[in-house]
Amino acid sequence: MNNRYNRHIILSEIGEAGQNKINNARVLVIGAGGLGCPILQYLAAAGVGTLGIIDFDDVDETNLQRQILYGKKTLGINKAIAAKERLRDLNDLITINTYSEPLTYQNAVTLFNQYDIIVDGSDNFETRYLVNDACIISEKPLVYGAIFKFEGQVAVFNHNGGPSYRCLFPSPPPSGSVPNCSEIGVLGVLPGIIGTLQANEVLKIILGIGEQLSGKLLCFNALDNQTTILNVNKSMEHFEKVLNEKPRFEQKELSITCDTDMIVSLQEITSFSEVQFIDVRELHEEPKLTGTNIIQIPLSSLSDQLHKISENRQKIFFCQSGIRSKKALAIAKNHHKSLCYSLKEGANELLQQLKNMQHENA
């Protein structure tokens, strides 16, 4: 073991005692995507004794631009499982636990209680607020990271009396109002930069060295290499609000989860008899799709307009890339709507399919 971790051990700030701390640490990583891949790779290489990986998504070809643990051989495989196989080859001395399921209010606190540090590599606001609140309730430090096009953020929350994510962002933006990287794009190397910074914060917390980003938000711009650190003030109001919700926490529902068998492809829906398409993109988004069997209800207002969708027809939610349509499906399910599906493909592919059908029927 000493030979594997020699470059750590010869550092006077770490030594054998510090490496033992790393080997005994238990870290849970939320999401094995763009951020999760470098986080997991460096923590596994460093010898973090127990790594947990939770991700219910499968590897897709579009992931390969930035999610460095995967290759063509892992396409279609659950990300947590695929990541574990790669990490086992990197370091077979550590324990890797995989959870190929969504993170929900029902399982978050129980899961977090099994680990020392929680690392957020998620890509949506619903999960970020869930992770933050579960960290407060389980009293776990949270290493946060986020990316957007060419910019990234890193911070440490709920650590040594420091602020939480809600102290910086008290409430989430309206659903669907902020696109994620699958909808707006992201520079391929950016999650590597931000994820590595997150892994660095994890090791500093384990070792108790350096100046951690507790109470600070590091902002990085890949276009001009500018790094800015902002101070984050703690607000006990947000902590108290979350803790007051604790008795009801496990009864809440997370609107982004849905059954994979309710996600369909364009090919599959050709066998459906009566179909209604629901466009959950914002009104300004292109391309425009019109037709007697297509209605537009933006995701941000879907809950209030569910009465507009058909009760009897098979309902297909679609968006630009299949992300928001999954959320729309979950919202419909939470309101006990039946015969609802999320379309894997996006508006461009659907438009082409409709054109082809019109041509065939001409």
- Residues acting as catalytic residues: 181, 319
Q: Pairing between strand 314-318 and 275-279?
A: parallel
Q: Is residue 49 within 8 Å of residue 73, measured between CB atoms?
A: no
Closest Cα to residue 350, out of 242, 273, 266, 286? 266
Number of CB atoms found within 10 A of residue 60's CB: 15
User: Cα–Cα–Cα angle for 250, 254, 255, nearest 5°?
Assistant: 155
Q: Which two tokens stand for residue 235?
A: 């607000």
Longest dimension (CA), the chain: 77
* CA atoms of 296 and 312, how far apart (whole Å): 18
- To 10 degrees, what angle do helices 190-207 and 36-46 make? 40
Q: Pairing between strand 50-54 and 95-99?
A: parallel
Judged on CB neighbours under 10 Å (0-12, 13-18, 19+), 171 is exposed
User: What is the DSSP secondary structure assignment for residue 291, as one 8-state letter?
Assistant: -
